[in-house]
Chains A and B, each alone.
Chain A
Amino acid sequence: MSDVSGTEAPEADVEAEPTEDVTPDPHALDDRHTELVERFGTELGDAVLDQASVFGMPVVRVRRIEWRRAAEVAKGALDCDYLCFVSGIDWMPAPKEGGDEAGSDTSAPVQPQEVTYGAAGSDGRFQVFARVQSTSRLWGLTLKADVDDESLLVQSWVPVYPGADWHERETWEMYGFVFDGHPALRHLYLPSEFEGHPLRKDYPLLSRVVKPWPGLVDVEPMPGEGDDAAETTAEASS
C-alpha cells in the first residue's frame, strides 16, 4: 500500500459509496476532516502508508521510522495540540480455546482464528496507535504505525507531547514496545518485579487459569446431591 498517495485515498472512500447507496455512508469524513487528511498527506508525503475513515474519524497509518515526525507534523502544521492517548494493538488471535494456555475457559467470546487487520491495515502482529486532536480547529486524527516483531522499537513521542510519558510507560509494560527516546521506561501500573506483557494476546487471563469458568465449580453441592455432600452431612450428624 506504500504507493497510495496521501490525497487520493479519502476522496475515493467518500465519493465512491454514496453513489451506490441511497443511505449516507456512516464512515464519510466531513469537510473539516477531509482537509485535515489532505494536509497531513501533503506534509508527510511517502510516510503515509494507508488511510481509512471509521465513522467520520480519519485513521492514518504511517511508516515506523516517521512515527515521531508524524507527531511533529500533527502538532506543528495541523494544530493538533491535544494528546488523547498512545497505546498498542496485538493483532494475533488469542490461542485457541481449550488449549494449554486458556485452561478450560468456555465463557469468553470466541474470536475468529484467522488474522485480520483493522482500519488502514497492518504489516505484522504489533501496532502502536495514538490519537491527537486540536482544541482550536476541532479536528482529530488517529495514527497507527507497525511495530517490528523482533526489535519492538518505536520512536517516543515525549519530545513532542510531554503527556505521552505515562501512555508510553503503560504501553511498554502492557505490550513490551520499547520507546526510543523515552526518559525512563518504568512500570506504571504493575509491580516492578512483574514479568510478561499482559495485554498481548498470548498472555492468558490468569484468574481464569487459576479458577476455571463457568462458575459451576464454585457451587457447593446441595445436601444429598453428590458423594462428598453425603459424607459431610453424615459427619455432621454423627
Chain B
Amino acid sequence: MSTTNPPLPEFDIDPRAFRHLADAQVGVELDTGDMILNLGPQHPATHGTLRLVVRLDGERVVSADPVIGYMHRGYEKLVEFRTYPQITTLINRIDWLSSFANEVPFIDAAEQLMGIEAPPRAQYIRTVLTELSRISTFVLFLGEMGLQVGALTPAFYGFRDREHVLNLIEAATGGRFHPNFNRIGGLKVDLPWGWVNDTRTAMKTIFDACDTFEDLLVGNEIFEARTRSIGIIPPELGAAYGVSGSNLRASGVDWDLRRDGKPYLAYPDLDFKVWTHPDGDSFARYWVRLQETREAARMVLQLLDGMPAGPIMAKVPRIIKVPEGEAWVETENPLGQMGYYVISKGATGPFRVKIRSASFSNVSILPWLLRGVFVPDVITILASLYFILGDIDR
C-alpha cells in the first residue's frame, strides 16, 4: 500500500476552454468586450462641464475622447460686437479663477495699438494683482488635488486660505471673482488705505498654507502612490500639443513667459526663480505649483517693497478708438500661456480677436495622455492638469 497519492493526470488543455461551461451554469455569457464609460458632463472630477467618453477594457482605458463645448459662449464672435472697454467684462469670464490675469494681455494689446503706456504704479499694481490671482488659483488646486486622491482635509484648507487672497482682491477691485479693474491706460482706482500691510500679512498666511499642504500631501504614501509616474507628459510632445505653464515646466521645460517672453508689466524688475521638475508626472505638476505659489507670494512682497508712487492712469482720449493694426500679446497666466491676437481697423471695437486660452491646449493632450491608464488615475490626471472649463470653452 503506497502512502503517496497517485500523481494527478496532466491535462494539456487550456482551462479557458471550459469557460463556457461555467457561464452556462448561471446562464450568463461573460462579455469581455470594451465598455464605454461616460465621465461627465456633471462629474465632480471634471470641474464643470467637461465630458470624457472613455472606452474601457477592464480597468484600463483604451481610448478617451473629451467632448467639450457645453459651455461655449462664443467670445470671439461677441467681442466683435463690443467696444474695447466693454470687452474686459467678457474676458473676465474666460478663466474665472484668475479673472484679473485674463484682462492684462487684452488691455496690453489695446494699449500697444494705441501707443499708450500705463504709468509704473499701475504696472506694479497690475503685477501684484496678477500674482495674487495666481496664488488664489493655485492654493485652491493644492487643496483640491488632495480631494481627488481621497484626502478631504486639504480641500477645506485650500478654500480657507484662498479666502485671504480673494478678500484682498475684493478690497482692491470691488469684485471677488470678476474684478473688471483694468482700464486702457491704467486702472480704475488706486489701492485702498492699509491694503499693502494687509497683503503683507496675508502672504505670511500663504507661506504657512504651503507648508501645511506640503506636510499633508508631499511624502504621504497614498498621495505619492497615486501621483508618482502617472500621467507622464514628455516635454517634446507636450510642447507640440501646446501644453504650457506649470504643466510644461513640470515636464522639465524651463520656459516662463514672465522671464522669457517679451517683457511685460513689472516682471523685468523682479528677481524670481522659475521652478521646473524633470519627471512630468502628476506629482511633478503638484510640486511645481506648490513652489510657484511660494514664489508668487515672494514676488508680491518684492513688488510691495518696490511699489512706486504716482498716477495710475495715463492720458487717454475720452472715446477710445484703436488705430488700425495687429497686436499679439501673450502672458504667463496661472493656467499657462494666455494670448490675444487683436486685429483693429480703427474703430471703437476690434475687427477680430483670437483668444488663445491655456486650458484648451492643456486638455487637448488628454486623448494621448489617458490611453492605457487605469480608471482611478484618470481622475488624478484630470486634477493635476488643472483646467478651468471657461478657459477651455471660451
Contacts of B368 in A (CB 8 A): 162
Contact of A232 with B by CB under 8 A: no
Contacts of A54 in B (CB 8 A): 325-328
For B259, the closest partner residue in chain A by CB is: A138
Number of cross-chain contacts by CB at 8 Å:
127
Interface pairs (26), CB distance under 8 Å: A26-B115, A55-B112, A81-B236, A82-B239, A83-B242, A84-B337, A89-B343, A89-B352, A108-B82, A109-B347, A109-B349, A116-B345, A118-B325, A118-B326, A119-B325, A131-B339, A131-B356, A163-B241, A163-B361, A163-B365, A166-B364, A167-B242, A189-B72, A190-B69, A191-B69, A199-B76
Contacts of B77 in A (CB 8 A): 198-199, 205
Contact of A51 with B by CB under 8 A: no
Contacts of A75 in B (CB 8 A): 240
Contacts of B345 in A (CB 8 A): 111-112, 116
For A105, the closest partner residue in chain B by CB is: B81
Contact of B360 with A by CB under 8 A: yes
Contact of B78 with A by CB under 8 A: yes
Encode B60-81 as 1/0 by CB contact (under 8 A) with A.
Answer: 0000000011001010111011
Asked if A189 contacts B69 (CB within 8 A), the reply is: yes
Chain A residues near B (Cβ < 8 Å):
26, 54-57, 59, 75, 81-85, 87, 89-90, 94, 105, 107-112, 116, 118-119, 129, 131, 135-136, 138, 142, 161-163, 165-167, 174, 187-191, 198-199, 205, 208
For the complex, give the distance between the alpha carbons of A26 and B349 in Å.
22
**Given A85-B242, A188-B69, 12 further pairs, Cβ under 8 A:** A26-B115, A82-B239, A83-B241, A111-B349, A116-B345, A118-B325, A138-B261, A163-B240, A166-B361, A189-B68, A198-B77, A199-B77
Contact of B302 with A by CB under 8 A: no
For the complex, give the distance between the alpha carbons of A161 and B365 in Å.
12
Asked if A165 contacts B364 (CB within 8 A), the reply is: yes
Encode B337-355 as 1/0 by CB contact (under 8 A) with A.
Answer: 1010101011111011010
Asked if B240 contacts A162 (CB within 8 A), the reply is: yes
3 closest cross-chain pairs (CB), A and B: A109-B349, A163-B241, A189-B69
For the complex, give the distance between the alpha carbons of A61 and B343 in Å.
16
For the complex, give the distance between the alpha carbons of A131 and B329 in Å.
12
Contacts of A90 in B (CB 8 A): 352
Contacts of B253 in A (CB 8 A): 135
Contact of B101 with A by CB under 8 A: no
B202-256 interface (Cβ within 8 A of A): 236-237, 239-244, 248, 253, 255
Contacts of A55 in B (CB 8 A): 112, 327-328
For the complex, give the distance between the alpha carbons of A75 and B242 in Å.
13
Query: Least Cβ distance of B55 to chain A in Å?
Result: 15
For the complex, give the distance between the alpha carbons of A83 and B262 in Å.
17
Contact of B393 with A by CB under 8 A: yes
Asked if A85 contacts B354 (CB within 8 A), the reply is: yes
For the complex, give the distance between the alpha carbons of A82 and B356 in Å.
13
For the complex, give the distance between the alpha carbons of A231 and B35 in Å.
63
For the complex, give the distance between the alpha carbons of A87 and B364 in Å.
15
For A82, the closest partner residue in chain B by CB is: B239
For the complex, give the distance between the alpha carbons of A161 and B81 in Å.
33
Query: Least Cβ distance of B71 to chain A in Å?
Result: 9
For the complex, give the distance between the alpha carbons of A84 and B244 in Å.
9
Asked if A109 contacts B324 (CB within 8 A), the reply is: no
B264-317 interface (Cβ within 8 A of A): none
Asked if B347 contacts A112 (CB within 8 A), the reply is: yes
Asked if B112 contacts A82 (CB within 8 A), the reply is: no
Contacts of B365 in A (CB 8 A): 163
Asked if A119 contacts B82 (CB within 8 A), the reply is: no
For the complex, give the distance between the alpha carbons of A116 and B351 in Å.
11
Complex partner residue of B81 from A85, A163, A205, CB under 8 angstroms: A205
Asked if B328 contacts A163 (CB within 8 A), the reply is: no
Contact of B31 with A by CB under 8 A: no
For A118, the closest partner residue in chain B by CB is: B326
Contacts of A205 in B (CB 8 A): 77-78, 80-81
Contacts A94-B80, A108-B82, A109-B83 known; A83 to B326 CB distance under 8 Å?
Answer: no
For the complex, give the distance between the alpha carbons of A190 and B74 in Å.
10
Contacts of B343 in A (CB 8 A): 89, 118
For the complex, give the distance between the alpha carbons of A208 and B77 in Å.
12
For the complex, give the distance between the alpha carbons of A116 and B325 in Å.
11
Asked if A208 contacts B81 (CB within 8 A), the reply is: yes
Asked if A119 contacts B326 (CB within 8 A), the reply is: yes
Contact of B14 with A by CB under 8 A: no
Query: Least Cβ distance of A113 to chain B in Å?
Result: 10
For the complex, give the distance between the alpha carbons of A11 and B175 in Å.
47
For the complex, give the distance between the alpha carbons of A162 and B368 in Å.
10
Asked if B82 contacts A190 (CB within 8 A), the reply is: no
For the complex, give the distance between the alpha carbons of A91 and B60 in Å.
48
Contacts of B261 in A (CB 8 A): 138
Contacts of B348 in A (CB 8 A): 109-110
Asked if A162 contacts B237 (CB within 8 A), the reply is: yes
Contacts A56-B262, A84-B356, A163-B242 known; A188 to B325 CB distance under 8 Å?
Answer: no
Contact of B260 with A by CB under 8 A: yes
Contacts of B78 in A (CB 8 A): 205
